[in-house]
Structure formats: C-alpha cells, structure tokens
Structure 1
Amino acid sequence: MIRYAILPLALLAAPAQAGPLADLAMIDHAVAAFAGAPATPVDRRLRLAACAQPLALAWHGPQRDRVRVECPQPGGWRLFVPLAAAQDLPGEAAAPVVARGDAISITVSGSGFAVSQPGEALESGAAGAWIRVRTLNPKAQPLRARVIRPGVVGMDLP
C-alpha cells in the first residue's frame, strides 16, 4: 500500500518541462561569433528555457577569456562560457609563446586591483597553459601561473 502512495507523490515532485528548450548549438555558434574564436561547447546536459528575445553577450573577466550569455527576458538565465584554449582544440598543436628561461611579467589580479613583478619562466607554455614560474628573488618558491601572451603570465585571486 505504501508503495502505491509514493508513486503519485514522486510524479508531483518531478520537474515539468515549461515549454521549448534553448538550442545549445546555437549558443555555441553565437559565442564563437561574438568572440571571434572557438568556445568550449556548452554542457549538453543543460535544460534552458528557449529565449524569446535575442541573447545578450558580453565579455566576462579581465582577461576576456569567458563570455557571459544572458537571456534578457524576465525569468531568463545566464551562462559563463570559457573560450577554448588552443591546446583544447582537436587537431591543433599550440605553439609555445613563453619558453623556459624567458624573462616574464607575473601579474596577480583580483577584484579591483592588479599587481605585477618581473620573473622567470621555469617551463615553456602556449597561451592559456599553466606553467611554473618564479620571481627574481633567488629564495622565492615556484608558482603556477597561466600564460596570457608572450612575456606575460598571470593568476586571478578570488
């Protein structure tokens, strides 16, 4: 008897689909067109409501490595889509833009600030790759930082 009473409750608790779903491939294409570069595909497990208005796209973050995608209608949704690093793309090998031993600038940024200091790359890396670096202090411990562009690596603080 209890078994039969649970089934109707489970059906009531199941989420109901409230209309058509957004086309995730269309979101991928919109982000790539906005950024001018390939984006990491949106997770196909997402079930977003279709948006009746045009999507609003904008850069998110100081490095411009993520795109904010919003459905601007009331009750809409918001996604943050990372751009695909060159090493994430199939069939493409990323050329290192920082070589081991290069003099670099190490940038640390957070909410409302950014500081940098000179350092040395302890590994080679392509743009977007995480490498080991150290400051010019001979007693400094190695750090891990992301390659931003030739000669510049950085990390974000929460």
Structure 2
Amino acid sequence: MLSLLLLLSATAPTDLALLDRAAEIFAGARQGEPGGPIAPIDRRLRLSACGSSPEFTWRTDAHDAIVIRCPDPRGWRIFVSVRAAPAVPAVQQAVAAKPVKEEPVIRRGDPVMLEAGDTGFAVSADGVAMADAAPGERLQVKVDGAKAPVQAIAVEAGKAKLPGW
C-alpha cells in the first residue's frame, strides 16, 4: 500500500483511479462488495496535485464512509461511501442483546430508608417507593415533609441511596 500512496503523491493532477484502488485497499474490500466503496469516485472531480501522500481515515466508527484528505495547506478532502457489511442475523442480535432482567427489590408502596453519606457522616430519611426497582435502578421516593418526591437508586430490599453519594 505504501508504494501505491507514493505513486499517488507523484501524480499531477491526482489520479482518481488510483484513489479508488487505495480506498479499496484501505476498506479491505473491493468496490461494490460489502465493506468496500459503493461506487467509483466521481470522474468530474478535478483534484489538484497533492504534494504528499493522501491520508485515509474512517468518517465515523460505523465505517460508513472513507475520508481521503490531501494534507497540503491548500489541500482537498473527499468522502467515499462504503457499502454496509452484512449485519448479524436478527436472531443472534436478540440473543446477544437481551439483558437479564433482575427482580425488583423495592416495590411500589414499600417503605424505603434513603441514605446519603461520606466518610465521617451519614444522613437517612424514611420514605415510600413510588415505583418498582431492581438493584442499581432509579426510582422516585416520596419523603415525609418534602413537597416533591426525590430520585434514589435501589440498593437492596427497603434501602436506597441518593445519586452521587
């Protein structure tokens, strides 16, 4: 690939066919194949000669387009769309992505002890759960004397902590 890039930098104006081939090499797939460029670079483009080797990067982590850039001060930048690679079958995605739902340790209407604290001090208050929550999930707790419910994180049965404490 290095020799191809060196050849690219020596051409004037920039040879689009060589850029097409370099994009295929960068993507790891031929044009039209999954993972490769969708189509050749538009031949109507007139890119100025690049004094150094063009740089190839992915536009995003999704690998949906290649960015080809001339790093010269007055260089150019083009985008080459890439054909999506075949997706994992839906059945495999559902099995892999289906998280195990934990049983709630706090149920709506349960009495809850809210706790907050740090090294050297602890504060607690009694309240009533306004929703079901598994360990680590957030829930609203109605605290006696407070106008609005507070948000808490379920810890264990009958016990929750304030976020950030």
Give your verdict on TM over 0.5. no
Larger radius of gyration: 2
TM-score normalised by the chain length of structure 1? 0.42
TM-score normalised by the chain length of structure 2? 0.40
